[in-house]
Amino acid sequence: MKMRIPILKLKDTLIVSIQVELDDQTALQFQEDLLDQLHKTSARGVVIDLTPIDFIDSFIAKVLGDVIHMTSLMGAKVVITGIQPSVAITLIELGIRLENVTTALDLENGLEKLTRELEA
Amino acid sequence: MAMNEVMRKSISDNIDTITKRWVEQMKGNSSERFLDLMPASIVETTSREFTELMTSNLSDQEKVDKERLDEFTEKIIHFGWSIKFINRAIDTFSSVVYELFYENGILNDGNLRKGVSIFANWINPLRESIIEEYSTKWERTDSLQKIALQELSASLIPVFDKISVMPLVGTIDTERAKLIMENLLEGVVKQRAEVVLLDITGVPVVDTMVAHHIIQAADAVRLVGAKCMLVGIRPEIAQTIVTLGINLTDFSTTSTLRRGMQKALQMTGRTIVEEE
Amino acid sequence: MDHRSSIEINTEWDIVAARQLGRNEAKSTGFGTVDQARITTAISELARNIYLYAGKGKIEIEPITVGQRTGLLIIASDEGPGIADLQKVMEDGYTTSGGLGAGMPGVKRLMDDFRIETEVGVGTTITATKWLH
């Protein structure tokens, strides 16, 4: 039943669009796959788009936070895009602030931000 | 003729006298001067409607004319009559009618007991209906006002491309804070704002709770991918913030909307230039 | 008219099933997107706690009406070890599982009413309600 989240490569950026509700196994599998790809492609940036996701609980938030931390340890930069208002409110009320995360309104915006930050 | 029939006939024959006396007694009473403040013509029609309403169910006890009651309470709420005033209006009406019944001999010491009972069966359900109607209507008005206040209290205005402003006016409680947060975030996403200015010039008090809500809102704005700036910090607000030990260092703040706007333009790579 | 739906929590997949049920119930009760997310997240946290600490238990969801108010009642119950230090569990940032420690106080903030009954060695029942405004 395990699902794999597709990871696309565009120049030196990895693009991930999470389209399905994440169960714990899929989330952990994604973490592993992304780090693998990062190592293989030596990409410098990652954009994770969460537009279709309608809720994030503390477990998924932790996996996301870990992914961001691990990615930066590997010398790459993560931008999270498309967090829905309802998801943002729920995260804040849960007490999860996701500090030190670069965010953007949508994928396009996120890619722009990433390019700007990598150039800087 | 049954006694209530006699009473009803006497009232309808003397409706003008009753209305006149009622107005006189109501005006003479000092505490609430609703009638003094109203134009004479309106006092006349309203008093007439009141006395007619009061007598409408005398012929057919128990049953109160719902439609007329509805119309009348609507009107007195509009006039701003208090419930205390309405209660007294009914009491005054009762005593005027009692007096009248005594004057023309319908009531005397012999039939007083029966008269009082008919009278009570007539007035009490009326009083209950009026007060019930009044409070339901008032509750409805109250909740409508709350909704109206909510609607008007938190709108995000797209001022420039990528820059939006939310002016906050009035006291912020938990309920409103939630609404503000929702409107703010939905607006940011819809307007594709990159910077939002939260203007608290119109917020009278910023205590720990309000600050907490503002910080949460700013955090949530960051998560959806925009930046939140707090503007309109008056000197006394700055004082309370520091005195209470509220930490606002995480996001940028300015004293006025104007300076905030300049900063926001800067953040989005633009500036205002004056034409030569 | 009100019905109570129930999901047994035995495996990790049941957490997904519980929150899907919660999302559907929230939608059909008439909650907006933000409250739907709150309810779904709260159920996810509660179901995960059952899975992590008690091994098994169940989540029950019921639309309720009290007077003029309509809401959704969530009951999470297990016959696990119980909570020894309730006060600690309700503190922000406290965790025994390596998670973010947002669990219980977070759920309390997401919902309108929240109650825990627990006895060491007997189990835990958490009742939480979200009201429609």
Per-residue model confidence as pLDDT tens digits over B250-261: 778 999 999 999
Domains in chain C, start-ordered, CATH in brackets? 5-131 (3.30.565.10)
Q: What pLDDT sits at residue B146?
A: 76
Q: What pLDDT sits at residue B7?
A: 81
Q: What pLDDT sits at residue A35?
A: 96
Q: How high does pLDDT run on average in chain A?
A: 92
Chain A residue with CA closest to C52: the answer is: A59
- The alpha carbon of residue A116 is apart from the nearest alpha carbon of chain C, in Å, by 31
Mean pLDDT lowest among B180-194, B209-223, B235-249: B235-249
Residue B152 — very low, low, confident or very high, per pLDDT cuts 50/70/90? low
Does any CB of chain A come closer than 8 Å to the CB of residue B222?
yes
- Tell me the chain A residues in contact with residue C109 when contact means C-beta distances shorter than 8 Å: 93-95
Question: Per the CB < 8 Å rule, is A85 touching B189?
Answer: yes
Nearest to A23 among C13, C34, C101 (CB): C13
- Tell me the chain B residues in contact with residue A91 when contact means C-beta distances shorter than 8 Å: 220, 223
Question: Per the CB < 8 Å rule, is B181 touching A97?
Answer: no
Q: Give the ipTM of the model, two decimals please.
A: 0.91
| High-pLDDT (> 70) share of chain A, % | 98
pLDDT digits 0-9 by tens, C41-80: 999 999 999 998 899 999 999 999 988 889 999 999 999 9
Question: Per the CB < 8 Å rule, is C102 touching A24?
Answer: no
Q: Which CATH class is domain A43-102?
A: alpha beta
Question: Per the CB < 8 Å rule, is B188 touching A103?
Answer: no
Closest CA to B229 of B240, B246, B237, B217: B217
Residue A37 — very low, low, confident or very high, per pLDDT cuts 50/70/90? very high
Residue B147 — very low, low, confident or very high, per pLDDT cuts 50/70/90? confident
Q: What pLDDT sits at residue B32?
A: 61
C contact chains, 3+ CB pairs < 8 A: A
Average pLDDT over residues B205-228: 91
Q: What pLDDT sits at residue B83?
A: 83
Q: Between B94 and B80, name the one with better pLDDT.
A: B94
Question: Per the CB < 8 Å rule, is C105 touching A95?
Answer: yes
Work out the number of other CB atoms within 10 angstroms of the CB of residue B265. Answer: 16
Q: What pLDDT sits at residue B5?
A: 78
Q: Considering only residues 58 to 87 of chain C, which have any Cβ-Cβ distance to chain A shorter than 8 Å?
A: none
Q: What pLDDT sits at residue C20?
A: 94
Residue B60 — very low, low, confident or very high, per pLDDT cuts 50/70/90? low
pLDDT at residue C88 is higher than 90: no
pLDDT digits 0-9 by tens, B106-122: 888 888 888 888 888 87
- Tell me the chain A residues in contact with residue C40 when contact means C-beta distances shorter than 8 Å: 54-55
| High-pLDDT (> 90) share of chain A, % | 79
Nearest to C110 among A25, A54, A90 (CB): A90
Superfamily of domain B3-151: Globins (1.10.490.10)
For chain C, helix, strand, coil in percent to 5 are 40, 30, 30
| High-pLDDT (> 70) share of chain C, % | 91
Q: How high does pLDDT run on average in chain C?
A: 89
pLDDT at residue C2 is higher than 80: no
DSSP state of C52: I
Contact (CB, 8 A) for A103 and A83: yes
Q: Where are the domains of chain B?
A: 3-151, 157-267
Interface test with B, best of A64, A101, A103, A116 (most B CBs within 10 A): A103
Question: Per the CB < 8 Å rule, is A88 touching B220?
Answer: yes
Chain A contact residues (CB < 8 Å to C): 1, 21, 23-25, 54-59, 61-62, 65, 84-87, 89-90, 93-96
pLDDT digits 0-9 by tens, C106-130: 999 999 999 999 999 999 999 999 9
Average pLDDT over residues B2-19: 82
Q: Between B93 and B162, name the one with better pLDDT.
A: B162
φ, ψ of residue C98 to 5 degrees: the values are: 80, 10
pLDDT digits 0-9 by tens, B19-54: 888 888 887 765 566 667 777 777 778 888 887 777
Question: Per the CB < 8 Å rule, is A81 touching B226?
Answer: no
SS3 category, C114: strand
C-alpha dist (Å) from residue C48 to A98, B7, B233, C99: 21, 75, 43, 11
CA C29 to chain centre: 17
CATH of span B157-267: 3.30.750.24
Mean pLDDT lowest among A71-80, A108-117, B128-137: B128-137
Give the β-pairing of B253-254 and C5-9.
unpaired
- The alpha carbon of residue C95 is apart from the nearest alpha carbon of chain A, in Å, by 12
